[in-house]
Amino acid sequence: MNLFGDALSWIFDGSHWGGPSGIDTRILQHLWVTFAAVGIAAVLAIPIGILIGHTGRGRLVVVALAGAVRAVPTLGLLTLLGLWLGIGVEAPLLALVALGFPSLLAGAYAGIESADAGAVDAARAIGLSEWQIVTRVEIPLGADVLIGGLRAATLQVVATATLAAYISDTGLGRYLFAGLKSRDYPQMLAGALLVAALALLLDLALGAVQRASRGHTRAHGSQTRDPAGAAPSKG
C-alpha cells in the first residue's frame, strides 16, 4: 500500500472539503488559533523584551522565567489547563501562548540590544527622548532580529496547534486524532502533511518579511550614523 499516495488522495478528495469539518474549515481554525496565540503572546512579551533590551535591567530574572516556561511540556500543560478550564479552545490557546512567549521575548530584547550603540549615542546627543530612541532608532535597527523571534514563535505554535484537537474539536489536529482512533493512517498522514504545508507557507511569508526588514535596517542604520541627515525633529 502506498501510504503517501493514499494520503494525497484523501486530501484531494472533494468530499473532504466544505462543511463544518472540511479541510478548508480546519485550516481556518488552525490559523485562527495560531494567530490568536502568537498575537496574545506578542502583546505580553514584546513590550517586556523592548524594556529589557533598552534598559538592561531585569534580564536575568525574566530570561530565567521564560526558560522555565519553555521547559514545561506543552501536552502536559494543555492537559492541566483542560482539567481546569474544561473542553474548549481556551485551554489550548493558553498553552500555545505560553509556548510562543519565550521566543518573542528573546527576539525583542535581542533585537533592541543589537542596535548600533553609535547610532543610539548619536540620537541621545541630538536630544531625542528615551521613547524616541526606542521607536525611531532601536526598533528599526533591531527589526530583523525581532521578526526572527516572531517567525520562530509562529512556527512553534502552528506545529503544536495540532494538540488543540486533543481537548477541542479545532484545527487540523482533528485528522490526526480521528485517524489514530480509527486506524485510518492515510487520514493521519494527510493531517500531518497539511500542518507541514501550512507551517512552510507561514515560514516563507515571514522569511520574506524578515529579508525586507534587513534592507530597511541597513538603510536606516546608514542614516542614523549621520545625525545631521537623520535627526528627526522632537515631538
- Check residue 41 and give its pLDDT: 96
Is residue 3 exposed (0-12), middle (13-18) or buried (19+ Cβ within 10 Å)?
exposed
Which of the pair, 193 or 83, is modelled with greater confidence? 193
Residue 159 has pLDDT above 90, yes or no: yes
d(CA 213, CA 147): 8
Give the tens place of pLDDT for each residue, 24-71.
999 999 999 999 999 999 999 999 999 998 888 877 877 787 778 778
Give the tens place of pLDDT for each residue, 110-133.
899 888 888 888 988 898 888 889
The answer to whether the predicted template modeling score (pTM) of the entire model surpasses 0.75 is yes
Name the band, by pLDDT with cuts 50, 70 and 90, for residue 226.
low
Domain boundaries, the chain: 23-217
Third-level CATH fold of 23-217: MetI-like fold (1.10.3720)
- Check residue 55 and give its pLDDT: 87
Give a three-class secondary structure readout of the chain: CCHHHHHHHHHCCHHHCCCCCCHHHHHHHHHHHHHHHHHHHHHHHHHHHHHHHHHCCCHHHHHHHHHHHHHCCHHHHHHHHHHHHCCCCHHHHHHHHHHHHHHHHHHHHHHHHCCCHHHHHHHHHCCCCHHHHHHHHHHHHHHHHHHHHHHHHHHHHHHHHHHHHHCCCCCCHHHHHHHHHHCCHHHHHHHHHHHHHHHHHHHHHHHHHHHHHHHHHHHHHHHHCCHHHHCCCCC
- Check residue 216 and give its pLDDT: 67
